[in-house]
Chain A
Amino acid sequence: MAPGTDGHSGADAAGGTAGTPGDVRAGAAATDGGTARDTTGRATGGGLLGVGFRSLLKREVLRFVRRPRNTFIPPAITNVLYFAVFGVILGDRIDEVAGEPYLLFILPGLVVLGAIGNAFENSSFSIFHGRWNEYIHETLTSPLSYSSMVLAYILAAALRGIIVGFIIVGIGLLFTSVPIERPFYLAAFMLVVPLLFASLGVIGGLLAEDFDDLTVMNQFILRPLVFFGAVFYPLGSLDPLYQTLSLLNPMVYMVNGVRYGFLGFQEVDPLASLVVLSGLTAVVALVDVLLFRRGYGLID
């Protein structure tokens, strides 16, 4: 907080206050004060999950729901291609991996890939676009608390990621039957992972200086991590050195967790992964709130 903003008593506020040269005559021409409105008892947007929060959440969800050509169709097409090429055309020439047909082995990874990409894109794009055209001021100048704002952006973006996850599973079902061996883990990972990337997307949207920055984040950071995240191969197929290196890639734990949920196959402890990812999500979300509170990238 800026120095000198504290320690002011509201009582000082009455009367002539323009400490400037010249005769101030405060109140000399004030219209009849009797007509001034009573200003108590306003709603101020409600609590953390109040009307204000729900309005922003609704706005954020409607934004992507109404633009399926930009939000749902692209991952659907991409994944039809993945399944057709990697699953069917190449998959027939690849032996079973971890006791599963190759198509089924890659499905969890593709679900994660689609879910995190869309979760990240939604919050980063929505915030960046609002900054670019300055209409994020509509939210910023409202009485919403910063926690409510951030939570609405994150939940909406995570929801888009989860929906895309469902779409990808749906497409998978066109090619094969999809088992769900560990429903709890599947649900937990499919909640936490999109939440984490939705939270990261908030930071991305605040950091970006132009639209290219968003592309860079997606192409040069997200995508390599995903492709080296054991989506298309099991860790066990790598040399020990690369296996160890892979453990530094957070994507490995997410893909492993979701794969455990679907297929019951694991190479890293899914419970430990879940705990670490949940903690990480909480930390990133907290950073989001702090950045909003500071107005980072949002205000002068």
Chain B
Amino acid sequence: MEPAIYADDLRKAYGDVRALDGLSFAVDRGEFFGLLGPNGAGKTTFINVLVGLVHKDGGTAEVFGYDIEDDYREARDRIGLSPQEFNVDRFFPIHEVLEHKAGYHGIPQGEAERRAAEALKTVGIWDKRDTRFDWLSGGMKRRFLLARALVTDPELLILDEPTAGVDVQLRRDLWGVIERLNAAGTTVLLTTHYIEEAERLCDRVAITDEGRVVDVATPDELRSRGTDKVYVTLADPPAETPALDIDGVREIDRDGDTLVVTAGGGGRVAPALLRELEYAGHEVVDLDIRRASLEEVFVDMTRVDEEAEELGVVG
């Protein structure tokens, strides 16, 4: 079965700026997929290529096997997009905006009205149905963008910074809705600046930088590439930093009675670490492992790349 999204060597340049520079990856059906990257990495450009708001210069993109140019109607019909910017019809109350959008997707009037009502209830702004978009509060505007993406019952839900500037309660609400949809089989493509959100929600993430995909993996896999810190508190402060020969340990620092061990894969290292220390006559009273966050790995990956670029190693 074709993947939900297939992108191969996508290219798009604005003058000298290469917004997409050979972007390639695939999203499986039913996946909750995160697209992470610093500003200007090409995330929004990529999304706009999929929905037909940006002409790609080269490469291939398909949605459920439908080429986004040759079979653009099939591809677009399957996508529900909640964009970063507010781009909503100002002339009509929001329930009519939803009915129109559903109509554009071939959904007849009666059914469109039912779905519009359902979508507004789902995101919790049914009581604002007769209001125009401009009169909604910021949080309600975000909710509405999600409702508009849902009203066509998409198989691929694309969320471009859906929780930007949104308070904690609303974020939780929105994620509840989205997770339920994903559980029901809707593929989700998410871009967000809140990396801990991606870490918690996504099955896999793609790290993008400068118009390319740097890596694709599960959040766990990515985190395991980062370095964890193991804090071992000893009963008696050691006079000097003990030398430990353990696979994976990169660095040992001493902070009073606590040893700070930097290692790839803290959980794997900890048992050997304890054995060695006790063998050397130390009494361990406390142990704490702090795993690398996805955010740290993300910053490492995108920063390293920048440095490499400057050195002329990449590109």
Contacts and interface: CB of A to CB of B under 8 A. Distances in A.
A and B interact: yes
Contact of B57 (A2, A28, A33, A142): A2
Contacts of B52: 140-141, 295, 299
A237 to B, nearest CB: 45
Secondary structure of the A side of the interface? loop
Contacts of A27: 28
Contacts, number: 236
Contact of A10 (B62, B112, B148): B62
State which size class the interface on A falls in.
35 or more
Contacts of A14: 1-3
Contact of A135 (B25, B31, B89): B89
B38 interface: no
A39 B216 contact: no
Interface stretch (B100-108, B167-175, B289-297): B100-108
Nearest to A298: B53
Contacts of B83: 137
Contact of B30 (A1, A31, A142, A143): A31
B57 A31 contact: no
A141 B51 contact: yes
Contact of B76 (A24, A67, A135, A142): A142
Interface stretch (A52-60, A91-99, A224-232, A249-257): A52-60
B39 to A, nearest CB: 17
Most chain A beta carbons < 10 A, residue from B89, B104, B203, B212 = B104
Contacts of A26: 26, 28, 216
Contacts of A55: 99-100, 102-104, 112
Interface of A: 1-6, 8, 10, 12-33, 35-37, 39, 42-46, 50-52, 54-56, 58-59, 62-63, 66-67, 130, 133-135, 137-145, 295, 299-300
Nearest to A293: B72
A140 B53 contact: yes
B55 A300 contact: yes
A206 to B, nearest CB: 15
A18 B72 CA distance: 23
Nearest to A11: B2
Given A44-B106, A45-B73, A143-B105, A37 B62 contact: no
A58 B203 contact: no
Contacts of B8: 8, 12, 17, 19
Given A30-B31, A32-B30, A142-B105, A20 B81 contact: no
